Amino acid sequence: MSDRPGVEPPGPWLQPLPTEETLSNGVRLLRMHLPGQQVISARLMVPVTLADEERVHEGVSVMMARLLDEGAGDLDAEAFAAALERHGAALGASAVEGGLSVDLDVPVRHLSGALRLMADAVGRPTFPEDEVRRVLRNRLAEIDYETASAPHRAGRELIATLWDPASRAARPAAGTPSTIGALTRSAIVERHAALAAAGGALVIAGDLQGIDVREAVEGSVGEWTGSGTAAAEPAAALPRLDGHTVVVVDRPGSVQSELAIGAPAPGRADPSWAAYPVMAYLLGGSPGARIDAVLREDKGYTYGIRAAMRPRALGGSFAVTGSVRTEVTAEALDLLRGILADTVKGFSRAELATGVDFITRATPGRWATADVIADELSALTLERLPMDFPSLTLRAMRRLAPDQVTEAAAAVASSVCSTVIVGDADAIIDDVRALGIGEVHVVTD
Amino acid sequence: MRLDYPIHERTLDNGLRVVVSPDHTVPTVAVNLWVDVGSRHESRGRTGFAHLFEHLMFQGSRNVASGEHFSALLAVGARLNATTWFDRTNYFETVPTGALDLALWLEADRHGHLLDAVNQANLDNQRDVVKEEKRQRYDNPPYGQELPDLYAALFPEGHPYAHPTIGSMADLDAATLEDVHAFYERWYGPRNTVLTLCGDVEAEDAFERVERQFGSLSSRPRPGHPIPVALAPLTEPVRLTRRADVPHDRLTIAFRLPADRTPGFLPAALALDILGGLATSRVVRRLVRGSQQALSVHSTAWGLVGGVSIGFLAIDVANGEDPDRVEAAVLSEVEDLAHAGPTSEEMQAVRAQSERGWLQALAHQDQRADLISHHTLLHDDPHAVNTHLEEVLAVTPEQIQAATTTLLRPEQRAVVAYLRAPHGAEEES
Distance CA B74, CA A128 (A): 50
Mean pLDDT, chain A, whole residue set: 96
- Which of B199, B214, B229 is the last residue in one of the domains? B214
Q: Which residues contact A168 (CB under 8 A, 6 or more apart)?
A: A50, A51, A53, A58, A97, A235, A237
B203 part of a folded domain: yes
Determine the pLDDT at residue A347. 97
B27 contacts chain A (CB < 8 A): yes
Render B146-170 in DSSP notation, one character per residue. Answer: HHHHHHHHHS-TT-TTSS-TT--HH
Average pLDDT over residues B99-126: 97
Residues B127, B210 share a domain: yes
Determine the pLDDT at residue B423. 67
Chain A, 278-307: which have a CB under 8 Å from a chain B CB? 286-288, 293, 296-303
* Cα dihedral across residues A380, A386, A390, A396: positive or negative: negative
Residues B264, B190 share a domain: no
B249 part of a folded domain: yes
Facing A301 at nearest CB: one of B74, B132, B295: B132
Q: Which residues contact A59 (CB under 8 A, 6 or more apart)?
A: A53, A139, A172, A173, A174, A175, A176, A179, A180, A183
B123 part of a folded domain: yes
Residues B189, B256 share a domain: no
B91 part of a folded domain: yes
Mean pLDDT, chain B, whole residue set: 96
* Contact yes or no for B3/B363 (Cβ under 8 A): no
| Sheet containing B89-96, strands listed edge to edge, beginning at the edge strand earlier in sequence | B8-11, B17-22, B193-199, B28-35, B89-96, B79-84
At B142-159, the pLDDT tens digits run 999 999 999 999 999 999
B2 contacts chain A (CB < 8 A): no
Residues B352, B246 share a domain: yes
| Radius of gyration of chain B, Cα coordinates, nearest whole angstrom | 23
Among the listed residues A184, A80, A76, the one whose alpha carbon sits nearest the alpha carbon of residue A135: A184
Residues B190, B63 share a domain: yes
Determine the pLDDT at residue A229. 82
ipTM above 0.90, yes or no: yes
At A167-187, the pLDDT tens digits run 999 999 999 999 999 999 999
Phi, psi dihedral angles at B374 (to 5 degrees)? -55, -55
B352 contacts chain A (CB < 8 A): yes
Determine the pLDDT at residue A267. 97
pLDDT at A226 over 70: yes
Average pLDDT over residues A308-327: 97
Under DSSP, is residue B86 helix (H, G, I), strand (E, B) or coil?
A: coil
pLDDT at A241 over 90: no
Cβ neighbourhood burial of A396 (10 Å; 0-12, 13-18, 19+)? middle
Average pLDDT over residues B237-247: 96
Q: Are strands A19-22 and A28-33 parallel, antiparallel or unpaired?
A: antiparallel
Average pLDDT over residues B16-25: 97
Distance CA A383, CA A314 (A): 7
B159 part of a folded domain: yes
- Which of B214, B248, B277 is the last residue in one of the domains? B214
Looking only at Cα atoms, what is the longest distance across chain B?
65
pLDDT at A232 over 80: no
Distance CA B239, CA B236 (A): 10
Average pLDDT over residues A273-288: 97
A350 contacts chain B (CB < 8 A): no
| Domain total of chain B | 2
Distance CA B268, CA A39 (A): 26
Residues B155, B46 share a domain: yes
Tell which of B205, B282, B360 to mutate to test the A interface (max A CBs under 10 Å). B360
Residues B300, B381 share a domain: yes
Residues B112, B74 share a domain: yes
Average pLDDT over residues A108-133: 97
B424: domain range? 238-428
Beta carbons within 10 angstroms of residue A434's beta carbon: 10
B395 part of a folded domain: yes
Q: How confident is the model at residue B117 (pLDDT cuts 50, 70, 90)?
A: very high
At A392-439, the pLDDT tens digits run 999 999 999 999 999 999 999 999 999 999 999 999 999 999 999 989
Residues B184, B316 share a domain: no
Determine the pLDDT at residue A156. 98
Determine the pLDDT at residue A242. 84
Distance CA B221, CA A384 (A): 60
B227 part of a folded domain: no
pTM attached to this predicted model:
0.96
For chains A and B, count residue pairs whose Cβ atoms are closer than 8 Å.
Answer: 213
Q: How confident is the model at residue B2 (pLDDT cuts 50, 70, 90)?
A: confident
At A341-353, the pLDDT tens digits run 999 999 999 999 9
Cα separation values, A85 from B354, B399, B401, Å:
10, 21, 21
Residues B197, B139 share a domain: yes
Spell out the domains of chain A, with CATH numbers in brackets: 19-223 (3.30.830.10), 245-443 (3.30.830.10)
Distance between B119 CA and the closest CA of chain A, angstroms: 14
Determine the pLDDT at residue A65. 98
Render B183-234 in DSSP notation, one character per residue. Answer: HHHHH-SGGGEEEEEEESS-HHHHHHHHHHHHTTSPP-PPPPPPPP---PPP
Average pLDDT over residues B378-403: 98
Chain B, 375-404: which have a CB under 8 Å from a chain A CB? none
Residues B160, B262 share a domain: no
* Contact yes or no for B201/B210 (Cβ under 8 A): no
* Cα dihedral across residues B394, B400, B401, B405: positive or negative: positive
Chain B, 115-174: which have a CB under 8 Å from a chain A CB? 124-133, 135-136, 139-142
Average pLDDT over residues A53-66: 98
Cα separation values, B410 from B236, B281, B336, Å:
8, 19, 12
Facing B128 at nearest CB: one of A86, A145, A300: A300
Total count of residues recorded for chain B: 429
B259 part of a folded domain: yes
A358 contacts chain B (CB < 8 A): yes
At A287-316, the pLDDT tens digits run 999 999 999 999 999 999 999 999 999 999
Residues B326, B264 share a domain: yes
- Which of B150, B182, B214 is the last residue in one of the domains? B214
- CATH number reported for the structural domain that contains residue B112 in this entry: 3.30.830.10
CB-based contact B28 A37, cutoff 8 Å? no
